[in-house]
Amino acid sequence: QSVLTQPPSASGTPGQRVTISCSGSSSNIGSNTVNWYQQLPGTAPKLLMYSNNQRPSGVPDRFSGSRSGTSASLAISGLQSEDEADYYCAAWDDSLNGPVFGGGTKLTVL
Amino acid sequence: EVQLVQSGGGLVKPGGSLRLSCAASGFTFSDVWMSWVRQAPGKGLEWVGRIKSKTDGGTTDYAAPVKGRFIISRDDSKNTLYLQMNSLKSEDTAVYYCTARGSFDYWGQGTRVTVSS
């Protein structure tokens, strides 16, 4: 049972826009920034978004992030086949005194 | 280019010990907070613990499931991070990743640890 809640799966067709949600509480998302990670099959995770909506160098602007209250979301526009991966949200948790992750969302490009 | 190259891992019996290493290059290792994150088979990501830079005190923090059993250390002269795992349990079976910086900006390739009799 993960502290942050994500839908286990999401899907879309090439070119579509897909949104992945991440729900938390006042001790994590409600008071700290959210990061997103992309894990391609069989590889290590990669930082995709930090501080809610900042893209590291090299991440396409098709990816965007937002946070509102105790929830956050990752949006992928112009979906491509190479976006098929697992996506994880994370945030520091003040009660647990450590970072917590969502359970991950498996994105399928149909 | 930032690189985190991990070594160690393998099969160990319950109650046993294992040490993982993570050799860093491409950035000033001594300035960076480092963490370990693990992923059990077919599961999501779980933070294991972190070590701050010596400038920030060099202190460590651990997740509750591993506190008192795992020890994170660093050798800035060798640009290497370590994870000493003691009193291993079956539930510690996972791929372990070393990560750099507070947002887990960079990740190692992962190393598999299997705890089984």
Alpha-carbon gap, residue B15 to B48, rounded angstroms: 18
* Average pLDDT value over all residues in chain B: 97
Contact list, A44 vs chain B (CB under 8 Å): 97, 107-110
Q: Which residues does residue B20 pair with via DSSP β-bridges, in sequence order?
A: B83
Is A90 within 8 Å of A34 (Cβ atoms)?
Answer: yes
Beta strand residue intervals within B1-117, DSSP E = 3-7, 10-12, 18-25, 34-39, 45-51, 60-62, 70-75, 80-85, 94-100, 106-107, 111-115
Q: Do A98 and B97 touch (CB under 8 A)?
A: no
Is B33 within 8 Å of B92 (Cβ atoms)?
Answer: no
Q: Do A96 and B64 touch (CB under 8 A)?
A: yes
For residue A78, the model assigns a pLDDT of 97
Q: With 90 as the cut, is the pLDDT of residue A17 above it?
A: yes
Q: Do B105 and A47 touch (CB under 8 A)?
A: yes
Select from B45, B106, B107 the Cβ nearest to the Cβ of A101. B45
Q: Do B44 and A2 touch (CB under 8 A)?
A: yes
Q: What is the dihedral of CA A31, A29, A90, B89, to 10 degrees?
A: 90
In the numeric block, which tokens belong to residue B75?
């050798």
Contact list, A51 vs chain B (CB under 8 Å): 103
Contact list, B47 vs chain A (CB under 8 Å): 98-101
In the three-class reduction of DSSP (H, G, I as helix; E, B as strand; rest coil), residue B116 is classed as coil
Summarised one tens digit per residue, pLDDT across range A71-106 is 999 999 999 999 999 999 999 999 999 999 999 999
Is B47 within 8 Å of B104 (Cβ atoms)?
Answer: no
How many interchain CB pairs under 8 A, A with B?
45
| Helix (H) / strand (E) containing A39 | strand A34-39
Summarised one tens digit per residue, pLDDT across range B59-90 is 999 999 999 999 999 999 999 999 999 999 99
- Residue located via tokens 């070393």: B98
Half-sphere exposure for A79 (CA within 13 Å, toward CB): 20
For residue B64, what is the nearest residue in chain A, using CA coordinates?
A96
Alpha-carbon gap, residue A87 to A93, rounded angstroms: 19
Select from B47, B105, B108 the Cβ nearest to the Cβ of A44. B108
For residue A1, what is the nearest residue in chain B, using CA coordinates?
B44
Reported confidence tier of residue A1, pLDDT bands at 50, 70, 90: confident
Q: With 90 as the cut, is the pLDDT of residue A26 above it?
A: yes
